[in-house]
Amino acid sequence: MDDLMLTIIDDEITTVDDQSNDLKKWKIAIIDDDQGVHDVTKLALSGVKILGRKIEFISALSGEEGRLLLKDNPDCAVILLDVVMETSDAGLELADKIRNELLMDNVQIILRTGQPGYSPEEEIISRYEINDYKTKNELTRDKLFTSIATAIRSYNHLRALDESKKGLRNVIEASASLMKERSVHDFASGVLQQINALFNLSSQGIFCVSQSPSDGPIELIDESDSQYFVVATSPSFHDFYGKDLQDISNSHEVEIAQNTLINKQNQIQENLCSLYLSTPSGWEGVVVINSPLSLNEVDEELLKLFCLNISLGLENAKFFTHLNNAAFYDEVTGLYNRTGFIEKSSEILKSAKSSMALFIVDIDYFHEIIESLGFEFGNMVLNAVTSSLNRDFLSDGIIARLHSDVFALLLPDTNWHYRDITKECSKPFMIEGNSLRLGVTVGEATCDLSTETFDIELLLRHAEIALKVAKEHQRGVGQLFESKFEDDKRAHLDILADLRNGIANEELFLVLQPKVSMTEGYVVGYEALIRWQHPIKGLISPNAFIPVAEQSGLYFDIDMYVFRKALALIAENPAITKPISVNVSANSLHHSDFISELKKIIAEKDSDISQIEIEITENALVRSDMAIQHLRELKALGFVLCLDDFGAGYSSLSYLLKLPLDVIKIDRSFVTHIEKGAKALFVLEGMLQICQNLSMRVVVEGVETQEQADILIALNADIAQGFFYFKPLTIEEVLIKAL
Ligand code: C2E
Ligand code: CA
Ligand code: CA
């Protein structure tokens, strides 16, 4: 402790009791070749106390002896130095060495000369920094005491200034290294260490700050300013770490911390010292250490400066934590965001040697929820899902909200499967007093880190692909990733790239499948079906590329291409006089440019559209005002409208039958089943009945056998399209055998 000298220079210190200052006597060196001078001086000053401290003499009888003596006593306060010793200026030579060789800057040199009237030249006084000079006979007790007391005061001042400078340097160094700490926890731990280094203590302490440290997502939950959390401790207070001050009882350290925060100022008690911190943007903190750090031992200014510096450091750490949070945590739920999730999960994947399961959880119909109940409600739903994920998985897993209504969950070594997750997340929960139940769809991907290395991006991609597959099949359930999904996806991407070229290079062409009257036996019309003659892969069926086009936006180009080709076909083949129906994808019917683009194509060659019919699937017509509007416009343009794949969807019959449709195509699945059972037959019969009552024309798709045809004829169905009559034909084939 005596390293850090006290800078409070105050004569009142003389009241401090003697014993405690035993070690702190002022050292006075007498360097004189006259032993008598030694004796007189000691006698004169015996028992004297200056600034409350006794005096200790050390002696040397020559300049050289003096040099060695001082070398061993660098804490010497005053030197009474004879000028003439072994040489006529041995004293001056020694003075030079004291300042320039021994580097004793603070020691006070009082030069003593034997000759009355001799005064050293001014130049010498300043060169050797001589503080005073006296003739030997001036050394009466009183005079001696006065000059020694003055010298000791000066020495003490200089020494204190020196210590203060050193302390200041330490504070600056300590704060500079603390400023580098970016998390509140690291910063606070640093402060606890630096206090000990700075004040030469071995204290144990705690560091608390207002609000939670924001170092992790859960801790963000409580934002109320009145709470103070312990963000760092020395080892002996480890149990307090992470706790709210209010929740810690029976601790003097915590009591004094609370006191400090209430009074907003440092509190010094016997064996406890508590420092108050407040940052420019209103964060408050308190550092408590269990060491006696009485204020009269430490420079108060230095302590203030230190507190100011750690307050700034705290602000700095808080700022970084805030930025860090924005970059890594989701504001709505407090969970990790995608970046945070990837960062955190990568660490785990790098070191873990177990199996891992990653689940991506997608809330079903979340956009509909927001549309009808608003954003705030949507946020409550997100938080409810967060709570149920936290409840079940927080202790074992990493949870994140990746984006809008999509959550991710990484679980090491788990027995959970996507079915369990859907079940957990579909349990009812309360929002604003109402019990609510959500559906979720889950994509799952797994890896075994004991046998393979896996990075999080890949695992995430697998789970995302699995989710996509799950959503395409059935919402509310889930899907485990299989490697063939990725092959499918790659194949999709290849097809997409080729398809663009294929359209541009006119590799796509139309075949016609005749529709026939089963009773009369002749062709009544055709359906135009697309084919792709790929230059390398050969002939490609529409089932391999139409669904891909639907997902990419190319569907619109394809539909317009087919429409153009169908018009050209009619114009170029006057022998084909029956109507040709073209398929329009559901997405095209929703496209805002659909009608205008059709009109443009018709106008290009002033085409005749009286022979063109349009096939639309029922899912295109469900719940879209735009589609129904387009349907009416098609009708107004004079197209015959045909409802394709009827019965395959789930829409209400009565709804569909109100639309301006002319022809109903009954889905192939009904025909496939009629031979197998009475139920299909019964349904088919009913459907045919309704259509006939509404005087709609009916086409039955997928007739493959004589038996099917016979049953259909018996049910009063007439027009059929199926392999039993014709497969799709090229134009040349049509011209030969199917006019
Ligand atoms: P879709 O509109 O239901 O067309 C009927 C499909 O059933 C055609 O397959 C046809 O070859 C097939 N088919 C006809 N009779 C039978 C039968 O007796 N048994 C069986 N098993 N199948 C029969 P395709 O040509 O492979 O077309 C498949 C689907 O691709 C079409 O189903 C349609 O949704 C789509 N598609 C085909 N051409 C186009 C087009 O030009 N534009 C659009 N947007 N979609 C098209
Ligand atoms: Ca069709
Ligand atoms: Ca069909």
For the segment 214-231, what is each residue's pLDDT rounded down to a tens digit?
Answer: 333 333 334 444 578 888
Indicate whether 600 pLDDT > 60. Answer: yes
- C-beta 705 within 6 A of ligand 1: no
What are the CA-CA distances from residue 664 to residues 558, 659, 667 (Å)?
24, 12, 9
Separation CA 51–CA 145 (nearest Å): 12
Indicate whether 736 pLDDT > 90. Answer: yes
Going from the Cα of 608 to the center of ligand 2, the distance in angstroms, rounded, reads 21
Q: Pull the structure tokens for residue 640.
A: 């015959």
**Nearest Cα to 139, choosing from 14, 25, 34?**
34
What's the pLDDT at 79? 95
Pocket test for ligand 1, best of 546, 587, 706 (most atoms within 8 A of CB): 546
Separation CA 48–CA 52 (nearest Å): 9
Which positions ≥6 away from 252 have C-beta within 8 Å?
272
435 strand-pairing partners: 430
Ligand 1, atom 21: closest residue by C-alpha:
702
Each residue's pLDDT tens digit, 423-471: 888 888 888 888 888 889 999 999 998 888 888 999 999 999 999 989 8
176, 182, 188, 191: CA torsion to nearest 10 = -10
Q: Please identify, by atom number, the ligand 1 atom nearest to the C-alpha of residue 665.
A: 3
Q: Is 643 exposed, middle or buried (0-12, 13-18, 19+ CB in 10 A)?
A: buried
Long-range contacts of 645-652 (CB under 8 A, 24+ apart): 645/617, 645/618, 645/701, 646/618, 646/687, 647/683, 647/687, 648/617, 648/618, 649/617, 649/618, 649/619, 649/622, 651/618, 651/619, 651/621, 651/622
Q: Is 453 exposed, middle or buried (0-12, 13-18, 19+ CB in 10 A)?
A: exposed
What's the pLDDT at 164? 67
Q: Pull the structure tokens for residue 694.
A: 């509404």
Cβ pair 504, 468 in contact under 8 A: no
52, 163, 257, 203: CA torsion to nearest 10 = -90
- C-beta 529 within 6 A of ligand 1: yes
Lowest-pLDDT range of 180-194, 363-377, 385-399, 571-585: 180-194
- C-beta 420 within 6 A of ligand 1: no
Ligand 1, atom 10: closest residue by C-alpha:
728
Indicate whether 362 pLDDT > 50. Answer: yes
Which positions ≥6 away from 679 have C-beta within 8 Å?
673
**Nearest Cα to 273, choosing from 368, 221, 347, 203?**
203
Q: Please identify, by atom number, the ligand 1 atom nearest to the C-alpha of residue 542.
A: 30
Beta strands 640-646 and 612-617: pairing type? parallel
Q: Where are the beta strands (DSSP E) in 330-436?
A: 355-363, 398-403, 406-412, 429-431, 434-436
Could you tell me which residue, 522 or 618, shows the higher pLDDT? 522
What's the pLDDT at 299? 64
Of the ligands numbered here, which is closest to the C-alpha atom of 515? 1
Separation CA 629–CA 421 (nearest Å): 42
Mean of the per-residue pLDDT values of the chain? 84
Q: Please identify, by atom number, the ligand 1 atom nearest to the C-alpha of residue 528.
A: 41
Q: Is 547 exposed, middle or buried (0-12, 13-18, 19+ CB in 10 A)?
A: middle
The predicted model gives 273-300 an average pLDDT of 76
Cβ pair 465, 428 in contact under 8 A: no
For 298, phi then psi, to 5°, come to -115, 140
Identify the three-state secondary structure at position 277. Answer: strand
- C-beta 392 within 6 A of ligand 1: no
What are the CA-CA distances from residue 424 to residues 355, 432, 438, 444 (Å)?
22, 21, 10, 15
What's the pLDDT at 12? 31
Ligand 1, atom 22: closest residue by C-alpha:
702
Query: CA angle, 110 as apex, 108 and 114 as ends, to 5°?
Result: 165
For 270, phi then psi, to 5°, come to -60, 125
- C-beta 543 within 6 A of ligand 1: yes
Ligand 1, atom 2: closest residue by C-alpha:
583
Separation CA 729–CA 136 (nearest Å): 135
Q: How many CB atoms lie within 10 A of CB 101?
A: 12
- C-beta 82 within 6 A of ligand 1: no
Beta strands 284-289 and 205-210: pairing type? antiparallel
- C-beta 530 within 6 A of ligand 1: yes
Q: Please identify, by atom number, the ligand 1 atom nearest to the C-alpha of residue 588.
A: 44
- C-beta 541 within 6 A of ligand 1: yes
Separation CA 443–CA 461 (nearest Å): 10
Separation CA 89–CA 124 (nearest Å): 11
What's the pLDDT at 211? 64
Going from the Cα of 104 to the center of ligand 1, the distance in angstroms, rounded, reads 103
**DSSP state at residue 15:** G
Which positions ≥6 away from 153 have C-beta within 8 Å?
9, 50, 51
Going from the Cα of 64 to the center of ligand 3, the distance in angstroms, rounded, reads 118
- C-beta 586 within 6 A of ligand 1: no
Question: Tokens 């697309």 sit at which residue?
Answer: 530
Task: Collect residues with CB below 5 Å from ion ligand 2.
Answer: 583, 615, 644
Lowest-pLDDT range of 83-87, 158-162, 410-414, 653-657: 653-657
Residues in the chain, overall count? 739
What's the pLDDT at 10? 33
What are the CA-CA distances from residue 707 to residues 684, 704, 734 (Å)?
15, 9, 25
Kindly report the pTM of this predicted structure. Answer: 0.50
Consecutive H or E run containing 105: none
Separation CA 682–CA 666 (nearest Å): 14
516 strand-pairing partners: 523, 720
Identify the three-state secondary structure at position 118. Answer: coil
Separation CA 303–CA 285 (nearest Å): 15
Going from the Cα of 529 to the center of ligand 1, the distance in angstroms, rounded, reads 6
In this prediction, residue 179 has a pLDDT band, given cuts at 50, 70 and 90, of low
- C-beta 562 within 6 A of ligand 1: yes
AA letter at 468: K
What are the structural domains, with CATH classification, of the chain?
26-169 (3.40.50.2300), 178-328 (3.30.450.40), 338-481 (3.30.70.270), 492-737 (3.20.20.450)
- C-beta 211 within 6 A of ligand 1: no
Identify the three-state secondary structure at position 242. Answer: coil
Pocket test for ligand 1, best of 529, 552, 671 (most atoms within 8 A of CB): 529
